[in-house]
Structure 1
């Protein structure tokens, strides 16, 4: 009876006039933050936290969860239309979404991406409700050296997926990004590394200037410098067609949702890794791998279901252990505390209604997100009809503003230019940018956990061979590397020929 009362109370808050207004406005602002390069979900939640200071606790939580869901979902539109992920979580979506836009299927890609986002979020909400204790216990089993292997695993996967047949370039790109993440104060002894006396580098390299430079600059320069502007047109699509694609991909969305949720539940991994691993899993299962990278809509489904399912996954450790699963979840945790809620082991005894608030608010925000995102796409898809030489300078200005507003530092704009030049060079030499970005995202996680593990075990590398989890990840990483060698491909070809005979 208490559970039903809590659910009814949550619905009464969300469906009140103020609740509906907060839902719509928060999701809409979140979508805008997600669509604009440089304005991330973390920034959206952080900015709204201050604005909700005088709100009642439940209404504030409703607004914060709504803007979080909207921001993660909105990133797919700029990824599909411009090949510039609005948030790092949408980087995998750009791999298939932008080629579809070039084929005139931007509207269909956005519809499918938004639908996958909706179902991925719902899957994660179900897991929040029923599987929080189990998944939290599993995530806690990861020791420091296993977190290091998980970070390496993410970089290797990303390198394999984005290399266009040359995985070595993908791995080089990823590990250069990992090395770049070492700039600044290291997290154990706070010792400055590679700062060269520059105080601005003491805090490390900001993620947003890197993301904007690596992904935004090549697109801007390529569009402006091209002699002949390639106009991308958008063909009409039917809702029935989009729903049939979602129906055909039901197992893809379910698996991607569970994978993304699992990645989100591991502290420090986040939505971007959830999207990439879901994308990889579907690509490995696909019977037409040759279509991937050229506009395979199944890849859009997997990436969007995975990164949105990580939202619920990231909230699982927040609710049960007060440990954020991502940077956005960390800001959410601070907001929960500010509004009088104390996530952690005592949550269900102190404020048992809070879990049901989160479940109901996230469910309603997901429904509003799908409706609003499709409404916005009717206007955002018109970006395709604008001459790129007119559009790209506007995108460039947004990139500069996005780099600046995070920390209000001119230095971040300079960083954006530096990494923009690096992005152009990488594009010219056909080095993928996504592994580089993921290397910077996971770099601190890899560094901190490896060094902590070695300190705790007096530098003994034998710890990597003492637990099943670490052995599993090492074997998986080895397989991913070996499977890209010529020896392995020749062996597989011989087996296929033998089976045909």
Structure 2
């Protein structure tokens, strides 16, 4: 434990340089702008900034990305409060009470509540990030090729629930990502797969152009095809947090912080789940239930606390297991791989100090959003007045430049455009892109682990099911898949109902006797 505290202290000191702090503030600023603009997202912010930071040192680049992640979720509360349009999906629960407060002339107070809840809950989640990640990593060190296969397959299975409400569409996109990950020379024998004689395809599809196309270009096309009319509520009161609100609703902050971290730990459950579950829990125990949806401070505090504390929660399985639980964390994991850090069980061996560096990065991100929340609200809201037909071409230019800058290959730009156009039509049909990225990221690991396992076992599948950890992971993966089958879900529901009736009858019989 003492060594861990020393590593944590060293991580904080390593980020105290002026230029590093400037990178963190810059990442949070860009994330805030992305969050404030309706239709853009934390996922897009991370994807675009990955291209911009490609030549930075790994730690500095990942600092920028984590700060943009936190900043985007925080910035999304602005449009939820002022426009009744969530800046990101995680801010949807903030619309009802935040917008109601704005209509009552308390928009500044609502923003202050969002700021205080976001900062305290992020710092609350950082404590769990620092303590739980090393524990999970120690367990994960026992993984071999057989366990890695099931872990990767479990991640792809989660594509059915990571976004959207249709598991089949999620699985199809996850499988499409797995297929695209197989394009190029395979890792064991350098044999060309799906290249059709193209030397460019022999190198595989680069991850950054794929990310930028799936989220950047597709988002540009979606935004231009569906413009949104906006009317901003003016800020007439102070945006400084009222600390008496934070003290009065301190138990809401604690409860929602725990809920956010717990939902973040669950793979496939996004930041919006932390927000909605926290909101529902606050309403269930509140003495002011009738105020929810009409401008409840308790409700807004719970919603903003629940989604922000889920960010450190999502980072825990990413770092320790290499399994992202949401769309932004999936793209962040891909960015870590690009910058030379492989999240997962081997992280404690290859980069033992990186976990504590991520803790320091997340802390700096929370400080950055506090500074911008206190002093930069009014100027940053001016970006909402920029017409989309001006803003989106700028985003498209960043997509092109970012894709080309990675390897100075025009082919990467073609990949970005092809995937972006395909992603646009798929999104119009209700298919989300996060499962595609999940398949792209986990595809190489699944492929290598399967074939290495078969080599070690002389072609036998038995070790994939007989090794203790592999058996547990196989059981969880198969059970997770079956949960999405309607017949199985109905059977589980009937069994639970019958068990409940039986328990109630036993209790009633005991009481009568």
**TM-score, length basis structure 2:** 0.65
Give the equivalent residue in structure 1 for 2:219: 219
* Alignment CA distance shift 1:359-1:255 (3 Å): same
Partner of 2:461: 461
Unmatched 5+ stretches in structure 1? 51-60, 83-92, 263-273, 290-295, 318-324, 335-342, 349-353
Q: Distance in 2 between matches of 1:147 and 1:246?
A: 41
| 2:90 is equivalent to residue 96 of structure 1 | yes
| Residues 411, 467 of structure 1: alpha-carbon distance in 2 compared, 3 angstrom cutoff | same
Using the alignment, how far apart are the partners of 1:21 and 1:154 within structure 2? 38
**Alpha-carbon offset, residue 177 of structure 1:** 0.9
Instruction: Give 3-state SS (helix, strand or coil) of 1:406's partner.
Output: helix
- Please list the CA deviations of residues 447-499 of structure 1 after superposition, one character each: whole Å capped at 9, or x if unmatched: 12222222111221112221343333333333333323332444466578776
Distance change >3 Å, CA 326–CA 394, structure 1 → 2: closer
Per-residue CA shift, 1:261-309, capped at 9, x if unaligned? Answer: x7xxxxxxxxxxx8845649759967969xxxxxx98787666544445
CA deviations over 1:93-116 (Å, ceiling 9, x no partner): 943347968998699799859965
2:55 maps to 47
5 Å matches for 1:170-319?
Answer: 170-226=170-226, 229-235=227-233, 239=241, 248=252, 250-254=254-258, 256-257=260-261, 276-277=268-269, 279=271, 282=274, 304-308=308-312
Greater shift, 485-494 or 298-307, is seen at: 298-307
Kindly tell me: are residues 99 and 184 of structure 1, through their superposed partners in 2, closer, same or farther at Cα, counting changes over 3 Å? farther
Secondary structure of the structure 2 residue equivalent to 1:48: coil
Please say if residues 113 and 301 of structure 1, whose CA atoms lie closer than 8 Å, have aligned partners that are also in contact. Answer: no
Residue 486 of structure 1 is matched in structure 2 by: 486
Q: Secondary structure at the match of 1:163?
A: coil
* RMSD value, Cα: 5.2
Alignment CA distance shift 1:285-1:460 (3 Å) = farther
Equivalent residue runs for 1:54-93 within 5 Å:
66-67=63-64, 69-76=66-73
Look up the SS of the partner of 1:461 in the other structure. coil
Cα distance, 1:211–1:330 mapped onto 2, change above 3 Å: closer
Q: Which residue matches 1:88? A: none
Whether 1:384 aligns to 2:384 is yes
Q: TM-score, normalised by structure 1?
A: 0.67
8 Å CA contact 2:185, 2:202 repeated in 1: yes
Q: 1:383 to 1:278 in 2, by over 3 A?
A: same
Q: 5+ residue gaps in structure 2?
A: 35-43, 80-86, 282-298, 322-331, 342-346, 505-513
Count of residues in correspondence between the two structures:
436
